[in-house]
A = this chain, B = another copy of it.
Amino acid sequence: MLQSALKFTHALLYQSVEDGDIVIDATVGNGNDTLLLADIVGPEGTVIGFDIQRDAISATQNRLNEADLNQRVQLIEAGHELVDSFSIKDSSIAAAVYNLGYLPKGDKSIITSPDTTIESLSKVLPLLKPGGLILIMVYYGHEGGAEEKEAVLSFAQSLPQKSYDVLQYAFINQKNSPPFLLAIEKK
């Protein structure tokens, strides 16, 4: 009945992203969200995906090619804090998705970091169109995860409520630090 944070995130994407929209996958990783987003934006839409790991980019590119979705996706081998280097217009983005932590089945020493995550979020906020969403899956069980969690929560809590709604969707009786969702909606 109650949806997991991941399923709830996907439901929000299906409800908010429309055919032809531009969206950002800040952390491509294994490409699961990239493929989902490419499906949702449709043939006229665009997904801009970032990852610092070449393996992630190439594996995702292969999956996109196999699914014949590669025309809709621009993959960039760079950190998402460089999002302002790619001429994305203000108020043009329907959604941006972040998965914090490390790449599942990848090198667990390569993790997102508080500084670059906050820098990236700060740069994406003006890119959102009204009603646009930033969806952050906060994994924090790994070393360094707690600090990033606190930094992102603090950042999100400080956003002015006249401009943004910030929702935390979290299962609070689970061991093993399950990921929770932070959803930021631009008004």
Q: Name the distance in Å between A177's Cβ and chain B's nearest Cβ.
A: 12
How many protomers of this protein does the assembly include? Answer: 2
Q: Is A32 an interface residue (CB 8 A)?
A: no
Determine chain A's interface SS by DSSP, over half rule.
Answer: mixed
Instruction: Collect the chain B residues with CB atoms within 8 Å of residue A166's CB.
Output: 171-173
Which of A56-64, A76-84, A136-144, A154-162 lies on the face that meets chain B?
A154-162
Instruction: Collect the chain B residues with CB atoms within 8 Å of residue A167's CB.
Output: 2, 169-172
Instruction: Collect the chain B residues with CB atoms within 8 Å of residue A131's CB.
Output: 1
A183 and B183 alpha carbons, distance in the complex (Å): 18
Inter-subunit contact B183/A161 (CB<8 Å): no
Q: Name the distance in Å between A68's Cβ and chain B's nearest Cβ.
A: 30
Interface residues on A, range: 20 to 34
Among B15, B157, B159, B175, point to the contact of A1 (Cβ < 8 A): B15
A12 and B175 alpha carbons, distance in the complex (Å): 25
Among B1, B133, B157, point to the contact of A185 (Cβ < 8 A): B1
Instruction: Collect the chain B residues with CB atoms within 8 Å of residue A175's CB.
Output: 161
Besides the contacts A160-B173, A167-B170, A167-B172, what 19 more A-B pairs have beta carbons closer than 8 Å? A1-B12, A1-B15, A1-B131, A1-B133, A1-B185, A2-B165, A2-B167, A2-B183, A2-B185, A153-B172, A156-B172, A156-B173, A157-B173, A158-B173, A161-B175, A165-B173, A166-B172, A167-B171, A168-B172
Interface set of A (CB-CB < 8 Å, partner B) = 1-2, 12, 15-16, 131, 133, 153, 156-161, 164-175, 183, 185
